Structure 1
Amino acid sequence: MNKSDAYNLKYHITPPYGLLNDPNGLAYFNHQYHVFYQWNPKGTEHKNKCWGHVVSSDLVHWQRKSVALEPSEWYDKDGIYSGGGIVHNEKLYLFYTGNVIRDDGVKESYQCAAISEDGEYFQKIGPLFEHPKGYTRHVRDPKVWRDQHGNWWLIVGAQREDLTGDTLIYKSKNLSEWECQGSFVDHDHQFGYMWECPDVLHFAENDVFVFSPQGLPERGEYYKNPNQSGYIVGKLSNTGKFNGNLSDFKELDRGFDFYAPQSFKVNDRTIMFGWMSAMNEEAERAVPTIQEGWIHALTLPREVVLMNGVLYQKPLPELQLLRLDDMHYKGEIQNNSEWLLPSTQAELIVHFSLLTENFKMIIRDAVQIDYDWEQNSLTVWRTNWLTGEREYRKATLNNKLAEMQIFIESSSLELFVNEGEEVFSLRYFIEDADQRNVLLEAGDNVGEVRMYQLQECVG
């Protein structure tokens, strides 16, 4: 089946067909950026998981490669699940979770590794350590890094036998012999029933623990999605423990569709991808692209920086390479302004030089952004494709709103607020591929709008 212009994403990473979920194995190797992702090439259900693979020299133009990892051994025969990547001794190492369903129906998981000299063909080396005692089979998503003393560390998401979430930390001198150091964070085990996709970001002033806890109860405008992704700021100790407080957990993305983020460091930059999107099964089955034989996408890559204890996610400067020719439009904000996007692949930048009242922006008659001046809050609305009802996500800003940078596709939108202070990622679906109107009811607010047409970049 062909992807229709109504829904196809042309500058985001999508599966060629089938189902995509978590970004995996992010690495810079042999002068190329490598992005792997969970992929079911046989259908649009969460089965038959292997690792899809794309490469790029600029983080913008992506080339598809052959499947990197697929079930083949006793320890991964029922699925290659998520994990990370590292480069060591001019080889690319991938760490993943092997999923096994025994003949008696019992499910098991194994933390495994594979090695490549060319970044394309991988040799599996099997399980790295025994399953930890006191934990259910839900132990997965290994992420590895090396400290300044030459020690290797591996964290893995876990569920204790009392059905509470946790993350375990392992230590190694040689990448083959691993010793469990216990829980990564000391806590009372009252923070969700499973922690997925753990990651550690290292900055000069502090370290950041990123993870995706499942089962958090909704709290005001927080934790409204089926599963959450967020972070706490703290310090890594020499013993492998992370000193941070779960009560300081902050969501990474305030939109509808962001989950299972993973980062990698290239030179001095920390770059992150996320998955659009985790949703309940009924909503997922109703996504229109299933009729075309594919579903889901990765977010655009974001540079992550830590400022005053807050992670900012900034659109990469490389994303300017997406822009076709010159600026499509530049103009002053009027009381009621209406524009026509150059195509359904567009970038829209709104800069406010004077903001004194509320405003409303409607994009393609599908996504609405409301600003409340007194609350200094943004509310993003869309229509739920399953129920047909309007739904929203809302964030109150720490700083006065100055800029919105919006990346628009035919069925996705990523809104970066104040250079990444807050981000809203979402999918939306309308059948009219020719609907390109943008309406801004700006009142007496003063500012400028710039608009660019963006190109297709995933081969």
Structure 2
Amino acid sequence: MTEREQELIRLAEEEVEKNKEDVERDPYRLRYHLMPPVGLLNDPNGFIQWNGTYHLFYQWMPFKTGHGAKFWGHYSSKNLVTWKHEPIALAPSEWFEKNGCYSGSAVEHDGKMILFYTGNVKDADGTRETYQCMAVSEDGVTFDKKGPVVELPEGYTAHFRDPKVWKKGSDWYMVVGAQSDDLTGKVALLKSADLVKWEHLGAIAGSGMNGLGDFGYMWECPDLFKLDGADVLIASPQGLEADGMKYQNIYQAGYFIGKLDYENATFEHGDFVELDRGFEFYAPQTTLDEKGRRLMVGWMGVPEQDEDKHPTIKHRWIHALTLPRELKWADGKLLQVPVEELALIRKDQLIEKSDLQLSDDGVGLDIRKSKALEMSLSFEKDVASFELELSETVQLTFDASESVFSLRRKSFVTGEWESRSCRLQVLAELRAYMDSSSIEVFLNGGEEVFTARIFPDANAAGMLTLFGEGTVGEMKVWEIEPE
């Protein structure tokens, strides 16, 4: 580790300690989600299970609640619910990363954990350079930087970042989020025999390819993997226009299902499908764990979307990561299911009701002012309408006559109600995880998902209120308390 890196890490650690009391005093600090100890968190990075332990890194700006020269923060866990904050993994200390250790991934090779990440460089006049870099660890905590292994190929602007690496047979492959010279978003594919020398095979997906037409000016954070026989490409396109209920955030995150031809470096795929219909979800990353599960974590935020207005900023921190989700493939759709380990942090069961009759007068249920909850509801086929008020800040609604489910929240910018919606023919099941300032909603076994930051009044009454027409077959609510 160079003296410059040691100095940057020392300064970041001092920033954590200096602001610790102020940060922890914030009533909106989350109880069971991963957050930065101070400053700004964004993309999840380097998600891997290595030697039996899960490692999850994250983009981190410790010195302010805006973006800048990013570090890699680091969490580890044995069970996906109890996390340990590890020492800083990467600091932007070297010439090839001086303006940020940007997003990337992790692989295991020869018993070592190897990180790939983007080194961001900007000159005084704002000219950008980009390098895909490698760092190696034998203990999963300290990392030896090996420097750039991929320089910018021809045909792209310097917006070329976020390498995701995997192995197939004896070869290694990398996808990189990119912008081509014609200023359209792309995903580039590279190949290597030794993780050091990489060959650029070409763009395999992007705006103007595979029948997409105009589809954004930059694609970030690609991830490509096989799930139940299908090749899945996840990407975060920037520059899509809103289309009805779709693409309502400034930037999107979604997936394509297709077939990657490794020999010819082509990827035939279907339509783009958003992964999450809520207000805050971006730049997800997946890993395959030792149980054979494809797990995903996303950033509970969106770049340039009212980031400077979050209420937590006055306490010197902003943003969080989503809960880990298991991805499953069923009936032509990618399902997202909260990992089963989340049951380990259930505390008291606050509600257990069966055959609950809904009415326009509402049914109020006491949740003891709990700020951290898991709830599960199943519905009878006669449910025509449903509204669940979780606080004065957030509501979940379903209208069977219009086949529309919505998450509504009080805007933390304007104070007015705003909503995100999707078409849903039947509401059979709803699971929701509510934290001090977030909610994640999973419908019909993960067929649709909504993630949002919410900022309720700390003194609000501890009640859930249900309105509607029909029957809730079963309702369970647990208080959550991490170990």
Give the TM-score taking structure 1 as reference length. Answer: 0.95
Q: Deviations over 1:330-376 (max 9, x none)?
A: 01323231112241001111111333311111111111111011233
Q: Which amino acid in 2 is paired with 1:8?
A: R
Question: Structure 1 residues 450 and 139, CA, compared in 2 at 3 Å: closer, same or farther?
Answer: same
Which residue in the other structure is 1:212 paired with? 236
Q: Which moved more, 1:354-363 or 1:32-41?
A: 354-363
> Is 2:105 the counterpart of 1:84?
yes
In the TM superposition, residue 279 of structure 1 has moved relative to its aligned partner by 4.5
Question: Partners in 1 of 2:403 and 2:229 — Cα distance?
Answer: 29
Q: Which amino acid in 1 is paired with 2:416?
A: E
In the TM superposition, residue 162 of structure 1 has moved relative to its aligned partner by 1.6
Secondary structure at the aligned position of 2:97 is classed as: coil
Q: Which runs of 5+ in 1 are unaligned?
A: none
Correspondence list, 1:214-363, <5 A: 214-239=238-263, 241-245=265-269, 248-267=271-290, 268-280=292-304, 283-325=306-348, 327-332=349-354, 333-335=356-358, 336-342=362-368, 343-363=370-390
In the TM superposition, residue 309 of structure 1 has moved relative to its aligned partner by 2.1
Question: Partners in 2 of 1:110 and 1:446 — Cα distance?
Answer: 54
Question: Structure 1 residues 311 and 242, CA, compared in 2 at 3 Å: closer, same or farther?
Answer: farther
Which residue in the other structure is 1:403 paired with? 429
> Is 2:151 the counterpart of 1:123?
no
Which residue in the other structure is 2:414 paired with? 387
Q: Which amino acid in 2 is paired with 1:131?
A: L
Question: Structure 1 residues 426 and 386, CA, compared in 2 at 3 Å: closer, same or farther?
Answer: same
If asked which structure has higher relative contact order (CA below 8 Å, sep 6+), I would say 1
Among 45, 49, 53, the residue aligned to 1:32: 53
Q: Which amino acid in 2 is paired with 1:394?
A: S
Native 8 Å contact 1:169 1:240 kept in 2: no
Question: Partners in 2 of 1:48 and 1:243 — Cα distance?
Answer: 34
Secondary structure at the aligned position of 1:430 is classed as: coil
Which residue in the other structure is 2:16 paired with? none
Native 8 Å contact 2:222 2:236 kept in 1: yes
Which residue in the other structure is 1:95 paired with? 116
In the TM superposition, residue 258 of structure 1 has moved relative to its aligned partner by 0.4
Secondary structure at the aligned position of 1:82 is classed as: strand
> Is 2:454 the counterpart of 1:428?
yes
Which residue in the other structure is 2:399 paired with? 372
Q: Deviations over 1:51-74 (max 9, x none)?
A: 000000000000101110011111
In the TM superposition, residue 434 of structure 1 has moved relative to its aligned partner by 4.5
Question: Partners in 2 of 1:435 and 1:3 — Cα distance?
Answer: 23
Question: Partners in 2 of 1:10 and 1:67 — Cα distance?
Answer: 22
Secondary structure at the aligned position of 2:342 is classed as: helix
Native 8 Å contact 1:184 1:240 kept in 2: no
Question: Structure 1 residues 156 and 437, CA, compared in 2 at 3 Å: closer, same or farther?
Answer: same
**Count of residues paired in the alignment:** 452
Q: Deviations over 1:149-194 (max 9, x none)?
A: 2110001000012211001100001111100000122762521000
Question: Partners in 2 of 1:49 and 1:311 — Cα distance?
Answer: 32
Question: Structure 1 residues 271 and 433, CA, compared in 2 at 3 Å: closer, same or farther?
Answer: farther
Give the TM-score taking structure 2 as reference length. Answer: 0.91
In the TM superposition, residue 329 of structure 1 has moved relative to its aligned partner by 1.6
Question: Partners in 2 of 1:433 and 1:410 — Cα distance?
Answer: 12
Question: Structure 1 residues 435 and 8, CA, compared in 2 at 3 Å: closer, same or farther?
Answer: farther
Which residue in the other structure is 2:19 paired with? none
In the TM superposition, residue 88 of structure 1 has moved relative to its aligned partner by 1.2
Q: Which amino acid in 2 is paired with 1:372?
A: D
Question: Partners in 1 of 2:179 and 2:459 — Cα distance?
Answer: 44
Native 8 Å contact 1:185 1:241 kept in 2: no
Q: Which amino acid in 1 is paired with 2:469?
A: G
Native 8 Å contact 2:207 2:216 kept in 1: no
Question: Partners in 2 of 1:349 and 1:208 — Cα distance?
Answer: 29
In the TM superposition, residue 130 of structure 1 has moved relative to its aligned partner by 2.1
Native 8 Å contact 1:6 1:433 kept in 2: no
Correspondence list, 1:80-229, <5 A: 80-147=101-168, 149-185=169-205, 188=208, 190-229=214-253
Question: Structure 1 residues 413 and 346, CA, compared in 2 at 3 Å: closer, same or farther?
Answer: same
Q: Deviations over 1:218-237 (max 9, x none)?
A: 10100000100001101111
Correspondence list, 1:9-28, <5 A: 9-28=30-49
Question: Partners in 2 of 1:199 and 1:114 — Cα distance?
Answer: 20
Question: Partners in 1 of 2:311 and 2:438 — Cα distance?
Answer: 13
Native 8 Å contact 1:410 1:433 kept in 2: no
Native 8 Å contact 1:54 1:62 kept in 2: yes
Q: Which amino acid in 1 is paired with 2:224?
A: V
Q: Deviations over 1:395-424 (max 9, x none)?
A: 1125x2111001001110000101101000
Secondary structure at the aligned position of 1:228 is classed as: coil
Q: Which amino acid in 2 is paired with 1:324?
A: K
Question: Partners in 2 of 1:446 and 1:186 — Cα distance?
Answer: 44
- Give percent identity, aligned residues only: 43
Which residue in the other structure is 1:439 paired with? 465
Q: Which moved more, 1:328-337 or 1:113-122?
A: 328-337
Q: Which amino acid in 1 is paired with 2:62?
A: P
Q: Which amino acid in 2 is paired with 1:24?
A: N
Pairwise CA RMSD of aligned residues?
A: 1.5
Among 439, 462, 467, the residue aligned to 1:413: 439
Question: Partners in 2 of 1:139 and 1:130 — Cα distance?
Answer: 9
Q: Which amino acid in 2 is paired with 1:328?
A: L
